[in-house]
């Protein structure tokens, strides 16, 4: 009887191990590049890093981050980050796995920034591509990669911004992910900040006057973003807040 129970215990342990292994193997946590056009942009970002060895601030993300380079956002970028040796590491369409690949392939080489602003995961939330848990694990993997490669760098992890004009299952999915990401805040190296409510009206509507397509920010949207994170970001950088 004892031998039988021991055997059952071993089988159970092996089963749990196997289940855990399978659960951890999903697209959101597996570093991966994209197509040739994407590689051009990724190489450009690596070039930026090489040309800015004294970079003090990184912005890491997808098209919402890349949008800081758009005409409407340039004024806010210059006002808040022009004197902070900031580098934009955003690529439109990126998911957590693509950011992971970039961090392992040049985006962090040769620099020692003071801080990074990270916001990623909305593209993983499309349809049934990834579950909320998988997306949270993808973001967690990015934070771990940043902490390993840049231990001196403070991470300002932003909640994934709301999307769609009104309440929706996808917006709810993002809320679930953000609730998990908040647990990554350790008060020292990783700081979580949710500014999503600043983009919404009092009735929960996401106005086109801030996000014309209910996903990407316009000039006013980027101003709201910059204003919302400035007190915390200045503290992490150890400099004076821009007013």
Which residues does the annotation mark as catalytic?
63, 213, 216
**SS3 (DSSP) at 26:** coil
Structure tokens at 38: 């994407």
Segments of the chain assigned E as strands = 57-61, 86-90, 115-119, 154-158, 190-193
**SS3 (DSSP) at 208:** coil
* All residues at 6 or more sequence positions from 212 whose CB lies less than 8 Å from its CB, including other chains: 218
**What are the residue ranges of helices labelled H in the chain?**
2-24, 36-51, 63-66, 71-81, 96-104, 132-149, 169-181, 219-237
How far apart are the C-alpha atoms of 200 and 210, rounded to whole Å? 9
Helix axes 36-51, 96-104, angle to 10 degrees: 50
Q: Degrees (nearest 5) of the Cα angle 227, 171, 209?
A: 45
CA-atom Rg of the chain in angstroms: 20
CB 170 within 8 A of CB 161: no
Structure tokens at 122: 């909305």
């Amino acid at each position: 009887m004892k031998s039988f129970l021991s055997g059952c215990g071993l089988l159970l342990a092996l089963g749990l191990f196997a289940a855990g292994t399978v659960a951890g193997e999903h697209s959101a946590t597996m570093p991966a590049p994209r197509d040739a056009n994407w590689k051009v942009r990724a190489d450009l970002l690596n070039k930026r890093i090489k040309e800015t060895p004294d970079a003090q601030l990184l912005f890491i993300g997808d098209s919402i981050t890349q949008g800081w380079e758009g005409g409407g956002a340039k004024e806010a970028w210059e006002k808040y980050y022009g004197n902070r040796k900031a580098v934009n590491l955003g690529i439109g369409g990126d998911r957590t796995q693509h950011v992971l690949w970039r961090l392992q392939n040049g985006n962090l080489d040769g620099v020692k920034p003071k801080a990074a602003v990270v916001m990623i995961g909305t593209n993983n939330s499309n349809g049934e591509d990834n579950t909320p848990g998988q997306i949270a694990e993808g973001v967690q993997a990015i934070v771990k990669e940043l902490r390993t490669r840049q231990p001196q760098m403070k991470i300002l992890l932003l909640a994934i911004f709301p999307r769609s004009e009104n309440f929706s299952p996808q917006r709810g999915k993002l809320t679930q992910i953000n609730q998990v990401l908040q647990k990554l805040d350790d008060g020292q190296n990783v700081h979580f900040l949710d500014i999503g409510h600043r983009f919404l009206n009092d009735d929960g509507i996401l106005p086109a006057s801030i996000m014309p397509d209910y996903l990407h920010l316009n000039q006013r949207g980027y101003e709201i973003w910059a204003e919302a994170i400035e007190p915390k970001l200045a503290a992490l950088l150890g400099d004076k807040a821009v007013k």
